[in-house]
Amino acid sequence: MDGFVDLHCHILPGVDDGAKDMVDALALIDMARADGTAALVLTPHYRGRYRENTPGMLREVLTALQKKTPRMELYLANEAGYERELTDKLAEGRVLTINGSRYVLLELPMDIDPAQTLSAVREVADQAFIPILAHVERYDVFLRNRGLIDRVLDMGALIQINADSVLGQQGFAAKRFCHWLLKSRRAHFVASDSHDLKYRPPKLRECCEYVTKKYGEEYAAALFRENARVVLAGE
């Protein structure tokens, strides 16, 4: 079986609140490989002070990292924090889409309301990007308004959830919401959103085995591998 494709992680060293340095990043990559991951999409934050990281600088760090770990497939994107100028910045290449495709890993403000959610997603989708909503189970706005999920799906958005939330490690409400998404086949990707070895590690295997048991092999393959491969191919 092919390895996992982790669509969301903070392993690019020294650029956000994830891997601190090259040694840390290589330890995280070793852990991911041992867990069965074949490809990592490195998704450093684009928000707040991390907006000072330029795409050129991120690509340089990626090149240095790839040289030290040639066996792991590495790809680059930003976890793009929504802001008013985001679509312009995406179009100009100042914020990175996933592997240069039309797919954008989109993060929303945690305190966003339903109307703002719809307008943010619409704005990105209207510019011919395909928003992939990062860890939807972490937002109150979706937990309190499940119908919003169908509204954003109708706009062409795709849904990513975190492996630790599926396993219940982020509380009951997040877990219950993830299982509603999975049971109704509304989720498209499970990723690690890993930041470190201990609290948010780059592990997918346990979650994949659990999802396989509960929801079947075919859907698990789509969530942990195949859908992300489609994104990376820019299809």
Footprint of Fe ion on this chain (CB under 5 A)?
A: 79, 193
Beta carbon nearer to Fe ion, 135 or 213 = 135
Residue with the shortest CB distance to Fe ion: 193
Smallest gap from residue 133 Cβ to Fe ion (A):
12
AA identity, residue 156:
G
Q: Exposed/middle/buried for 185, CB within 10 Å: 0-12, 13-18, 19+?
A: exposed
Min separation Cβ 159 and Fe ion, Å: 15
Structural contact between residues 141 and 117, judged by C-beta atoms closer than 8 angstroms: yes
Considering beta carbons, is residue 35 or 193 the nearer one to Fe ion?
193
Minimum CB distance to Fe ion smaller for 3 or for 44: 44
CB of 18 to Fe ion, least distance (A): 8
**45 or 217: CB nearest Fe ion:** 45
Q: CB-wise, 79 or 164, nearer to Fe ion?
A: 79
Q: Are 65 and 22 in contact (CB under 8 A)?
A: yes
Nearest-angstrom CA–CA distance, 112 and 118: 10
Using the minimum distance from each CB to Fe ion, give the nearer residue, 3 or 81: 81
216 vs 2: CA distance, rounded Å: 17
**Rounded to an integer, what distance in angstroms lies between the CA atom of residue 149 and that of residue 146?**
6
Q: How far apart are CA 171 and CA 91, in angstroms?
A: 37
Cβ at position 80, least distance to Fe ion in Å: 11
Shortest distance, position 213 Cβ to Fe ion, whole Å: 26
Minimum CB–partner distance for residue 48 and Fe ion (Å): 13
- Min dist CB 13 to Fe ion, Å, is 15
Burial (CB < 10 A; 0-12, 13-18, 19+), residue 205, is middle
Query: Hunting for tokens 């395909």 — which residue is that?
Result: 130
Within 10 angstroms of residue 233's Cβ, the number of other Cβ atoms is: 9
For Fe ion, the closer CB: 117 or 192: 192
169 neighbors 200 (Cβ within 8 angstroms):
no
Q: Are 136 and 120 in contact (CB under 8 A)?
A: no
